[in-house]
Amino acid sequence: MGFTEDKLDRIYQRTEGRCHICRNQLSLRNYGTLGKRGAWEVEHSKPKSKGGTDHMNNLYAACIPCNRKKRNSSTTSARSTNGYRCAPLSKVKRGENTVAGGVVGALAFLLVPPHLRLAAVVVGGVVGAVVGKSYEPD
């Protein structure tokens, strides 16, 4: 396959080293080695046969059984057979979202007059949640 080690590493880290469909733990060095513990492949969220690309936002790590089983079906239906809707989020990304949401909330708070701050807390929380959510991958 045409992926550099660096790209494989980034794809692997995207889901904290877990299969994006069944969430089993994968082994980075067992990439493409069918039969080995944690063996995995790069999965195209949108299949190449349907116009999917090799861009990072279309690539996920998947264990070989999931990848082979998925074939040309959609990511959403493959995940839902395992009871999941989204890809696992990396811890780093979750942390950043929380910080970003908090900063937006605090700034909103400072911009309003004191007698309106209770409302501002509510609005700030909502804005923060929306901002945090918009950074999530599909």
Give me the residues that bind Zn ion (CB under 5 A), please: 19, 21-22, 63, 66
Q: CA–CA distance from 100 to each of 96, 118, 127 (Å)? A: 6, 20, 10
Contacts of residues 35-42 at CB distance under 8 Å and 24 or more positions apart, as own/partner, are: 38/63, 39/63, 39/64, 40/12, 40/64, 40/67, 41/1, 41/67, 42/1, 42/3, 42/8, 42/11
Nearer to Zn ion, 39 or 127 (CB): 39
Q: How far apart are CB 63 and Zn ion at their closest, in Å?
A: 4
Nearer to Zn ion, 11 or 21 (CB): 21
Burial 79-104 (b: 16+ CB within 10 A, else e): beeeeeeebbebeebeeebeeebeeb
Nearer to Zn ion, 18 or 124 (CB): 18
Q: How far apart are CB 57 and Zn ion at their closest, in Å?
A: 20
Q: How far apart are CB 60 and Zn ion at their closest, in Å?
A: 10
Nearer to Zn ion, 19 or 108 (CB): 19
Looking at this protein, which amino acid is placed at residue 22? C
Nearer to Zn ion, 64 or 120 (CB): 64
Q: How far apart are CB 69 and Zn ion at their closest, in Å?
A: 8
Q: How far apart are CB 84 and Zn ion at their closest, in Å?
A: 10
